Amino acid sequence: MEMHAEHIEELAEGYALGALEPGERVRVEQHIAACPPCKRHIDSVEDTTHMLAFVATPVAPPPRCKLKLMEKVAREQFLQTPTRRSRTVNAMSMWAAVATVAFIMSGAWSMRLQQQLSEVTGAQNQIQGQLASLQTERATMTAQIAQLTTLESVVVAAEAVRSLHGAGSAANASAKTYMTPGKNEAVLIVHNLPQLPPGKIYQVWVARPELQQPLTMFNPVDTTEPVPLQPPEPMDSYNWIMVTIEDAAGAQQPSKDTVLFGEL
């Protein structure tokens, strides 16, 4: 192609408006990939062109659009970002309100949040003065629904449940792992773990004879606490799962302070 034979200024407006014939569009794209001055010119014409969007009357989309979007965003983040502290901590705080696994499974909480969300959204249109606080509340709820839905889907889809037993300083604690063979995604739901002293954190491990794999860390805020797990290999490739008490930064080797232990 004689890409540099001539510049493409005369096609800039048509390109920015999306009004070129397919062949012309390809010509522009090939040209600006190799010609910075023309790229800058096109960028500038595009910036003006897209001001035309303001001709259309703005219309508020229904709340379900935002719900679906935020759920998709949260789900992607959950799946793409393994064992990030901030995510775990976020997931923790929301679960303070969730009392039992049955409640999670029923979806009742999710429905209630959805209902509350739509009420809040409706109120927002009427009460301009409270806009800021309502928006914050709505954001929190949307995020909660999205995270809940993600964890819930893992639990609901689980094909196997494994029990963990309390030990050491947490003899009254128990836990269950909801997992599916072949999948790198599981949820650990713990009950009755004691509150930790400052500077300490619970850490989840999966292990087999030659390997002890550190997973996520958490600090429970309620008697029942779900912990998302994303091991590097499928859950059923490990023999054991356990929870230890570690210094707040976490550890690469488990301490002797095991509080929950179970076989996978």
Partner 1 sequence: MAQVQQPPADAIRDEQLIEDVARGDRHAIEVLYDRYSSAVFGLALKTLRDREAAEEAVQEVFWRVWQRAKSFDRNRSFAPWLFGIAHNYCIDELRRRRARPQSVYEDDEHPILSGIADSTDVSEAALESEQRRIVQSALQQLPVEQRQALELAYFGGLTQQEIAARLGNPLGTIKTRMRLGLQKLRGILQGQYVPEQG
Size of the site for partner 1 (CB under 8 A): 47
Residue placing its CB nearer to partner 1 in the complex, 81 or 133:
81
Stretch that binds Zn ion, among 34-42, 47-55, 97-105, 247-255 (CB under 5 A): 34-42
The encoded tokens of residue 144 equal: 């909660």
The encoded tokens of residue 220 equal: 């429970």
36 binds partner 1 (CB under 8 A): no
Among 3, 77, 92, 180, binds partner 1 (CB under 8 A): 77
* Residues contacting residue 180 through CB under 8 Å, at least 6 positions apart: 157, 158, 159, 160, 186, 235
CB neighbours (10 Å) of residue 260? Answer: 26
Residue 170 interacts with, from Zn ion, partner 1, none (CB under 5-8 Å by kind): none
93 binds partner 1 (CB under 8 A): no
259 binds Zn ion (CB under 5 A): no
The encoded tokens of residue 11 equal: 């096609």
35 binds Zn ion (CB under 5 A): yes
Among 139, 160, 171, 211, binds partner 1 (CB under 8 A): 139
Tabulate helix, strand, coil % of the chain (nearest 5): 50, 20, 30
Residue placing its CB nearer to Zn ion in the complex, 35 or 143:
35
CB neighbours (10 Å) of residue 175? Answer: 28
* Alpha-carbon span 83 to 213, nearest angstrom: 12
Q: Where are the alpha helices (DSSP H) in 100-130?
A: 101-106, 108-126
Q: Which residues bind partner 1 (CB under 8 A)?
A: 10, 13-14, 16-21, 43-62, 64-66, 68-70, 72-74, 76-77, 81, 128, 131, 135, 139, 142-143
User: What residue ranges bind Zn ion (CB under 5 A)?
Assistant: 7, 35, 38
